[in-house]
Structure 1
């Protein structure tokens, strides 16, 4: 019995790099698609209190740092928070207010409560928990609920997915999330991401 468990553990460790790389294929595909043909995004901006200012719906949208304002530090990290939203040959230059770009994702803001209270009495080892959750983000992502708020903490949007992967971008104050193979782009927003099973227990 012990030999079988040891063999299974060794096999899992051996396959770890392969499985990790496979899990990231969807993200790489989205990045490539974004650069080559753009992504069909709905781009919305919000004021400090979370009220929608404007919205763009484009079939071919690409978001990056606005090059004329680009500033890098000595380490080569981008410092400028001015972003360039390219859509259908047109351009929007944006800085300051909260911005969300989503690829056909449903906003569940009205479905979920605006305040979340979680009580959990299960013990865990923090170091191992962090390692496991970071690995799971790249490998076998669990269902997640993404709650997005304005800079004043007012609810803007709630998205949910069975496979959710969070990754960084080259742009300051931005996060990109892969939600079931669809891109979610968040700029200058507060947000919390919960395990779906945690929310279901509420």
Structure 2
């Protein structure tokens, strides 16, 4: 009986080793999939120039990273197959899906409102989007920032999109969400996908 138990244990172990060694299985295990923690969210999508292209909202939001197969060669010339995270994410909103590639997405928890929604025209009219012109726009709205820290979100090309303010602001990179940053602003969540941002003390503006 003991021999049979040991044999079954050995077979199970070998089976698990084989599975764990399979790149495809590892890909399934390592697929990134996470849910946004909080209440309902509004999702704002922007192009590289900071122009809003879509707004959606929902109560149950999850995000899945999509992987692509890659090949490389070792020192002996043997082919090595692996998987990298692609630029495509699948956003599931109350059971409905959006496939997103490259665009900036901002997930704003219900109850969190931006102090300022920047428009491309404002930046362009102040000098074409240079750091000095952006600073002038921020200073223009300085009195609107009622809290001590300001979060400025910018497009991938540096165009300001929106600014939030709060007394208690911190950020983290969630392990289960692809290419995402999570900010907490006075207890409300703000998730950012593929965007630049700065957290600035109001006194510096």
- Report the equivalent of 1:165: 170
Task: From the CA coordinates, give the structure whose radius of gyration is larger.
Answer: 2
- Report the equivalent of 2:106: 100
Contact 1:71-1:79 at 8 Å conserved across structures: no
Find the aligned partners of 1:183 and 1:71 in 2 and give their Cα distance: 33
Deviation at 1:164, TM superposition (A): 1.0
CA offset digits 1:106-129 (Å, max 9, x no partner)? 122259x962279xxxxxxxxxxx
1:115-154 matches, within 5 Å, as 115-116=134-135, 143-154=148-159
From 168, 175, 186, give the equivalent of 1:180: 186
**Structure 1: 5+ residue runs without aligned partners?**
1-33, 119-141
Deviation at 1:53, TM superposition (A): 0.5
Contact 1:58-1:88 at 8 Å conserved across structures: yes
Find the aligned partners of 2:171 and 2:84 in 1 and give their Cα distance: 19
Inter-CA distance 160–63: structure 2 relative to 1 (3 Å threshold):
farther
Inter-CA distance 35–54: structure 2 relative to 1 (3 Å threshold):
closer
Deviation at 1:36, TM superposition (A): 8.8
Find the aligned partners of 1:185 and 1:71 in 2 and give their Cα distance: 28
Contact 1:81-1:172 at 8 Å conserved across structures: no
Task: Judging by fraction of residues, say which structure has more strand.
Answer: 2
Provide the aligned length of Structure 1 versus Structure 2: 139
Inter-CA distance 82–50: structure 2 relative to 1 (3 Å threshold):
same
What is the TM-score with the length of structure 2 in the denominator? 0.56
CA RMSD of aligned residues (A): 3.5
Find the aligned partners of 2:101 and 2:36 in 1 and give their Cα distance: 24
**Structure 2: 5+ residue runs without aligned partners?**
1-33, 71-82, 124-133, 139-146
- Report the equivalent of 1:48: 48
CA offset digits 1:78-110 (Å, max 9, x no partner)? 733322212111111212011111103212225
